[in-house]
Amino acid sequence: MAFIISPQYSISPLNETALLVAFEKAIDEGINEKVIALHQAFNDCNFKGFIETVPAYCSLTIFYDVAIVKKNNPDATTAFEWVKNFTAQLIQETDIVTNNKERIITIPVYYNGEDLEYVAAQHHLSVDEVISIHTASNYRVYMIGFLPGFAYMGKADERIATPRLASPRTNVKAGSVGIAGLQTGIYPLQSPGGWQLIGQTPVKIFDTQKSNPCLLQAGDNVQFVSIGKEDFEKLNEY
């Protein structure tokens, strides 16, 4: 799938070393494709002082070194104004399309989460129906955040969409699969968290021993597959 970035965007300072490019505010695949496309464009064509870009659902943050930008552009009023103009030009004068092949990642899940029965009861479904609905969808990875490797995925089927817990847990196991509204995600590390836990994957989502520690990246597609306890224990990487 390919999208050309539209002119509907805004650029504003995030802090003294970063600016934010914001598109239409929504959880929408087309908008997220624009974000990923601009992210890729910066990786292909950037400037002296550029540090990195961080994509989110409907925005892209550009980090830069103020001193280096000023040194290489002495006529610029401020580093922000120069980077803002560079960004606007990159958007307006370049047909920015995503030509990357979409990766489909299969994630096995043992559906034994402590909130699984609660989610089923809230929607007047059986546990098996919740599992069937959750595994029937193909989920887009919209962004990575909260924890290293934590992938925000969507959209979850409205039939199982369930709000976060009113009070987050102090400890969620690494590999736990949860639902928060129309989002689904996997906790890559042991941490506090407030998502409704429906299962656990034996696959490490974040592994510092690998050259690319994050299994998932923005733009990926994830397919969950239900497995039993025995297979979970055989495959468990934690």
Q: What is the DSSP string of the chain?
A: ---PPPS--EEEEEETTEEEEE---S--HHHHHHHHHHHHHHHHS--TTEEEEEE-SSEEEEEE-HHHHHHH-TT-S-HHHHHHHHHHHHHHHS-----PPPPEEEEEEE---TTHHHHHHHTT--HHHHHHHHHHSEEEEEEE-SSTT-EEEEPPPTTT-BPPPSS-EEEE-TTEEEEEBTEEEE-SSSEEE-SEEEEE-SS-SB-TTSSS-BS--TT-EEEEEEE-HHHHHHH---
Position 1 scores a pLDDT of 36
Residue matched to tokens 């695949």: 29
Share the mean pLDDT of the chain.
90
User: Could you say which residues of the chain have pLDDT below 70?
Assistant: 1-7, 93-101
Structural domains of the chain in order of their starting residue, each with its CATH number: 10-93 (3.30.1360.40), 104-235 (2.40.100.10)
Position 2 scores a pLDDT of 38
Question: For the whole model, what pTM was predicted?
Answer: 0.78
Position 4 scores a pLDDT of 42
Which has the closest alpha carbon to 103: 54, 151, 45? 151
